[in-house]
């Protein structure tokens, strides 16, 4: 999974909240890796209660992506 795929999964899910979708939409516009890393943490914090087909994979990816340095 890539960062862009994770953002699109959040945007395409009807079970995620508006904040998560807004952060994901903004995240697709970012250029630097550091900005994407920080945005991944914002998205991750807003999908804590997201359940569904790809939610676990996306949450795990965003958490790991946000924690890398």
Predicted confidence (pLDDT) at residue 68 exceeds the cutoff of 90: no
| pTM for the structure as a whole | 0.91
Q: Residue 69's pLDDT band (boundaries 50, 70, 90)?
A: low
pLDDT for the residue 47: 94
How far is 68 from 25, CA to CA, in rounded Å?
A: 21
Reported as a single tens digit per residue, the pLDDT across 9-42 is: 999 998 888 999 999 999 999 999 999 999 999 9
Please say whether the beta carbons of 45 and 62 come within 8 A.
no
Structure token digits, residue 29: 């516009």
Calculate helix-pair angle for 55-67, 33-45, nearest 10 degrees. Answer: 130
Rounded to the nearest integer, the mean pLDDT of the chain is: 93
Plot region of 32 (φ>0 → left; ψ -120 to 50 → alpha; else → beta):
beta
């Amino acid at each position: 999974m890539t960062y862009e795929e994770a953002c699109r999964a959040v945007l395409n899910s009807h079970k995620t909240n508006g904040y998560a979708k807004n952060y994901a939409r903004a995240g697709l516009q970012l250029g630097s890796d550091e900005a994407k890393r920080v945005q991944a943490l914002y998205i991750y914090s807003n999908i804590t209660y997201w359940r569904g087909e790809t939610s676990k994979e996306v949450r795990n990816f965003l958490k790991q992506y946000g924690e890398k340095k």
